[in-house]
Amino acid sequence: MEKIQIETIEMHTGGGPLRIVKTGLPSIQGKTILDKIKYLRNNLEYVRKLIIHEPRGHYDMFGVYLVDIEGADIGCIFIHNEGYSTMCGHAIIALGRYVIDHGIVQKPVSAETGIIMQCPCGPVEVFVQNDNGKTGDVRFNSVPSFLFKKDFDVEVPGYGKVTVDISYGGAFFAYMPVKQLGLDLSTTPTDRLRNAASLVTETLKGVLELSHPQSQDLAFLYGTILTDGKDESEESSHMCVFADKEVDRSPCGSGTTGRIAQLFGRGIIKLGQKRAFRGPAGAKFIAKAVKEVKFGCHNAVVVEVSGKGNYTGSSVFTLEADDEIGKGFLLK
């Protein structure tokens, strides 16, 4: 393999990192986003490992490839420690600023610029605030989201029986109050929360059957979200553990979307009723259900999530031809 050089822009949303590949990405074949992900898995996995894994990244790094897709302003392929995500709200929020600031999407500047981002789960409407030419807060309207299954009991090794809700917000998550595990979001060490949530996910994968109205490629459990149990409160906290035990520092955009769909499906909130959700780093997303829709056999909602991404720097990563370790590794 010849020397490789990849240029990135670094951002974060609520503490959740986002590494945006600017140059150096080889051509990705395929007509749809899902086709392109299949091509990446078969041909370009080395790129993902190069920029997400050590020594350039870390266990909880997150990134995105931007691609051209017919019918959208931009296409997004999300990457993490295990592979490829169907949706990522914290990335969408940061990308809203990036694609306007860098001229990737060229549209007339207004108080709020609308963009269509094609994600693996479907098209997402994004709205970027502008204040005299400076981008700021970003909100997005999700793909149709729904409560898939409520009060699902599962026996988790070492913890006993727990009850979860399964909700979809561009990805499927299990939702449960952390107190069911005898843990606390504020005082329990992160690694213990990480391992417990991951154990719930892996246990559920063995007993839970998922289906998606449009594609079985989207019908998999992405992770578990541990909540503080304050579903009736205007503000609450949660932690999302997804992929291979990856912890989202932000409140998790797709997880927040799914939680609004869960609360709406349970009749706890109504259309237009705002909720604030805090992530492990302390930042919060504001979200609400804005419209009821039918999605396959599901009574679904479109959810609006808002937040702000910030720039943290830029990088030029290289891989020398004789650097085997530099191709990427992870220490767990």
Q: Which residues are known catalytic residues?
A: 88
Among candidate residues 229, 150, 221, the one with its CA nearest the CA of residue 182: 229
Residue with tokens 């927040």: 256
Tokens of 70: 């017919």
Tokens of 174: 């299990």
Among candidate residues 312, 261, 260, 305, the one with its CA nearest the CA of residue 284: 305
Q: Can you give the length of the chain in residues?
A: 332
Bridging pattern class, strands 235-242 and 246-247: antiparallel
The DSSP secondary-structure symbol of 209 reads -
Residue with tokens 């035990």: 245
Cross-strand pairs, 203: none
Residue 213: cis peptide before it, omega within 30 degrees of 0: no
Residue 157: cis peptide before it, omega within 30 degrees of 0: no
Is-contact 274 234, C-beta < 8 A? Answer: yes
Tokens of 173: 């998550």
**C-beta neighbour count of 61 within 10 angstroms:** 19
**Relative orientation angle of helices 33-43 and 45-52, to the nearest 10 degrees:** 80
- Dihedral of alpha carbons 122, 79, 83, 282, sign: negative
